[in-house]
Amino acid sequence: MNAPDNHLERRARELYREAARHLDPATADRLRAARRMAIEGNGRTSLSHRLLQLLLPAGAFAAVAFAALMLTSPVQRPSGAAPASPLAASTAEFDGDLPPDAAAADPTLYQNMDFYGWLAKNGESQANR
């Protein structure tokens, strides 16, 4: 398998050298100038190429992290929106009916319990007028 590759390589080198011998000087000068520019330009673009190599994976990671954050964060509905399921609707109704936890609530709320009872009875009648 190595022999045909060597033969092809040898033949390509012979053709290249033969063509280079018959090349006119103006074309050879333009080819040398183009080669120098390509070599010098390669050093200039290598910094931008390295920067691109660093920023592309970082940007992809940021996009994946943002998508994961958006998928895992809870969705907050506006206060007027209806709950998505009947279970959530029944839970939302009962949450307001439960008294606050005594340890977490402000103690001043329990000082005027009579007022809150009167407000609960008369608040709806005042709203209907």
The SS3 call for residue 107 is helix
Q: 41 versus 113: which is more confidently predicted? A: 113
Does the residue 36 lie in any domain?
yes
Structurally, the chain folds into a number of domains equal to 1
Using CA atoms, how far apart are residues 98 and 122, in angstroms rounded to an integer?
Answer: 20
Q: Give the Cα separation of 60 and 78 in Å (integer).
A: 32
pTM: 0.28
In a domain, 49, yes or no: yes
pLDDT (tens digit per residue) in 36-88:
988 887 655 667 777 788 888 889 999 999 999 988 887 766 665 555 555 55
For residue 88, what pLDDT is reported?
56
pLDDT at 126 over 70: no
Is the per-residue pLDDT at 94 higher than 70?
no
Chain-wide mean pLDDT for the chain? 77
Helix spans in the chain (H) = 2-21, 25-72, 86-95, 113-128
Is 41 within a domain? yes
Domain that holds residue 64: 12-70
